[in-house]
Amino acid sequence: MASDPTSEVGMTMDQAKKVEDVAENNVQASLLDERTSRDSTVEAAVDVVADTYKHLMESEEYREIFKATCEAQGQDVDVSLNLLDDMMPEVIAMSKALMQSALEDERLSKPEGTTATRLDIRNWTPLLYATYGGKLDEVKAVVANLGDAVIQTAVEVRPVHRDPSYSRCCLQSNGLTPLHLASMYGYMDIVRFFVQHGASHDAVTVDGATPLFLSSMNGHLDVIQYLVALGAVDGINRPINDGCTALIVAANRGYDAIVTFLVENGASSLATTNDGQTALHAASVNGHIGVVKYLLGIHTYTSYASTGCAVSPFYLAAQNGHLEVVELLVQVHHAPLTTGGTLTELAVAAMHGHVETVRFLIQAGASVEAALQSSDEYDGSTPLFLAIHGGSATCTNARSLEVAELLLTLGGANLEAKQTNGDTVLHFAVRSERLDAVRLLLGKGANANSPDAVRLYLCDTSP
């Protein structure tokens, strides 16, 4: 029977219980097994090694428990500790990354704007964990343990490889490399370290993203400048799979300095996504007035709006209520007002409850009677219909009511306008269960006794 290690180190009952828990298995054999499994199954290293042994690095007390357990099993303490220490850089990196990822899980699991941001953290390798943590010393420790080749191989392998032996090469199924990750988070010292150890700035993920694209997406100008100085300028116009370029994503995020730098280094301001959106579309949708002004200093508004996209930069700005952009496009760059058929700029602003944008567009001459042509129940709707509809969908009732008031008083909207199905605005308000709108319309003189009158909706109880 093995001796009781607790009596030798004067442990408490709780500490003794921890020793018993650890000592249920042969410690050295367990470590060797985990060291073997981590070479073939990265997930095992994350789920088992980090979760099982991370406490050993957190307290000297646990290290003493570990020593006592080894002695109780007749193990060579130094050998076991060397095995543990050999794994510690990776365990530290993995543990910290797992804890950090829990704090920003939504960002990691729900990419915004492009699938190039998707991070599958549970399947990462130790070097990716260390990179994600942003500590250069931890990155160096992992590389020192695994060797420089892990960086070089990781960044050179392409996603077409399906050989399981590549699982240790820091290459994810989506092609994300440590350099991609460091560039995405703006870890300049780690970016430089990877490049100095052979990382290629041309590595591409399955989504088509380069380190330059990801640093542009997250606003890291210093990383972009460094990569371009290395020769990444050749990839400035390289799009990801949906056609989005570094310039378009930087414009979408409103990074004025990055947009300027990319254009000055050869980025095409007229490049389009697969659906025809330019950098001006991307800046307008989020109201980035500085980027909008800069881009319009390069090309005319018509050049950006004539790319075959289903919507214009003007439409996107109106849809999202970016009044300053709308005013600039109309007053300075003479963006044309849509007159009907599809949703007009006035109609979409009304539908989303953008009061001041609606006011400006009415004063600019937008038609308050332009009717929507569609294949659904909104066919024939004027902006007044859509303002009332918006109150029950994408904006508050109060805002939609204010927009409706503007359309009637400032724009002179027709109270008796009808949809293709014959419904008036009053019918539509009743169907939408908008009592506030019904009161407004009746107060403005809407006819409650027109064909298919309101009472049809309120009082008809027949089967």
Judge if 138 and 219 occupy the same domain: yes
Judge if 210 and 245 occupy the same domain: no
Is 321 within the bounds of a domain? Answer: no
Q: So what's the pLDDT on residue 167? A: 27
Q: What percent of the chain has pLDDT over 70?
A: 63
Residue 174 and residue 159 in contact, taking contact as beta carbons nearer than 8 Å: yes
pLDDT in tens, 184-216: 999 999 999 999 988 889 888 888 999 999 999
Confidence of residue 390 (pLDDT cuts 50, 70, 90): confident
Q: How far apart are CA 161 and CA 424, in angstroms?
A: 62
Judge if 44 and 121 occupy the same domain: no
Confidence of residue 273 (pLDDT cuts 50, 70, 90): very high
Q: So what's the pLDDT on residue 354? A: 95
Judge if 203 and 161 occupy the same domain: yes
Choice between 377 and 316, residue whose per-residue pLDDT is larger: 316
**pTM value surpassing 0.75:** no
CATH number at residue 420: 1.25.40.20
Q: So what's the pLDDT on residue 103? A: 42
Q: So what's the pLDDT on residue 351? A: 94
Is 427 within the bounds of a domain? Answer: yes
Is 147 within the bounds of a domain? Answer: yes
Maximum pairwise Cα distance, the chain: 99
pLDDT at 22 over 70: no
Q: So what's the pLDDT on residue 447? A: 87
Can you give the residue range of the structural domain that contains 41?
Answer: 5-97
pLDDT in tens, 60-70: 666 676 677 66
- What are the backbone angles phi and psi of residue 111, rounded to the nearest 5°? -65, 145
Judge if 133 and 222 occupy the same domain: yes
Question: Could you give the number of structural domains in the chain?
Answer: 4
Judge if 177 and 256 occupy the same domain: no
Q: What is the mean pLDDT of the chain?
A: 76
Residue 314 and residue 346 in contact, taking contact as beta carbons nearer than 8 Å: no
Q: How far apart are CA 82 and CA 62, in angstroms?
A: 16
The first and second tokens of residue 429, run together, are: 């308000």
* CB neighbours of residue 202 within 10 Å: 18
DSSP letter, residue 370: P
pLDDT at 302 over 80: yes
In a 10 Å sphere around its CB, with 0-12 CB exposed, 13-18 middle and 19+ buried, how is residue 158 labelled? exposed
Task: Give the residue-averaged pLDDT of 421-439.
Answer: 90
Q: So what's the pLDDT on residue 285? A: 96
Q: How far apart are CA 204 and CA 191, in angstroms?
A: 16
In the block, residue with structure tokens 């290290």: 63
- What are the backbone angles phi and psi of residue 301, rounded to the nearest 5°? -60, -40
pLDDT at 230 over 80: yes
Q: So what's the pLDDT on residue 141? A: 83
Q: How far apart are CA 179 and CA 157, in angstroms?
A: 13
The first and second tokens of residue 94, run together, are: 């993995």
Judge if 365 and 431 occupy the same domain: yes
Judge if 217 and 272 occupy the same domain: no
In what helix (H) or strand (E) does residue 43 lie, and over which residues does it extend? helix 42-44
Choice between 129 and 168, residue whose per-residue pLDDT is larger: 129
Residue 313 and residue 326 in contact, taking contact as beta carbons nearer than 8 Å: no
pLDDT in tens, 138-183: 888 888 877 665 664 443 323 332 323 222 233 344 677 889 989 9
Question: Would the CA dihedral through 384, 388, 394, 395 be positive or negative?
Answer: positive
Cβ partners under 8 Å of residue 40, min gap 6: 164, 167, 168
Cα angle vertex 451, ends 447, 455, to 5°? 70
Is 317 within the bounds of a domain? Answer: no
Judge if 136 and 87 occupy the same domain: no
Q: Which residues pair with 418 in a beta bridge?
A: 424
Residue 148 and residue 198 in contact, taking contact as beta carbons nearer than 8 Å: yes
Confidence of residue 121 (pLDDT cuts 50, 70, 90): low
pLDDT at 446 over 80: yes
* CB neighbours of residue 439 within 10 Å: 12
Q: Of 218, 235, 252, which residue constitutes the final position of a domain?
A: 235
Is 302 within the bounds of a domain? Answer: yes
Is 149 within the bounds of a domain? Answer: yes
Q: So what's the pLDDT on residue 383? A: 95
Q: So what's the pLDDT on residue 68? A: 72
Cα angle vertex 52, ends 75, 129, to 5°? 120
The winner for highest mean pLDDT among 118-122, 359-363, 414-418 is: 359-363
Cβ partners under 8 Å of residue 235, min gap 6: 201, 202, 210, 212
Is 368 within the bounds of a domain? Answer: yes
* CB neighbours of residue 68 within 10 Å: 25
CB-side neighbour CA atoms (13 Å) of 265: 24
Task: Give the residue-averaged pLDDT of 87-108.
Answer: 51
Judge if 245 and 183 occupy the same domain: no
DSSP letter, residue 457: H
Q: Of 287, 308, 329, which residue constitutes the final position of a domain?
A: 308
Judge if 396 and 449 occupy the same domain: yes
Side chain identity at 324, as an amino acid letter? Answer: E
Q: Of 97, 124, 148, which residue constitutes the final position of a domain?
A: 97
* Number of H-type helices and E-type strands within the chain: 29, 0
Is 319 within the bounds of a domain? Answer: no
Judge if 118 and 221 occupy the same domain: yes
Q: How far apart are CA 231 and CA 75, in angstroms?
A: 54
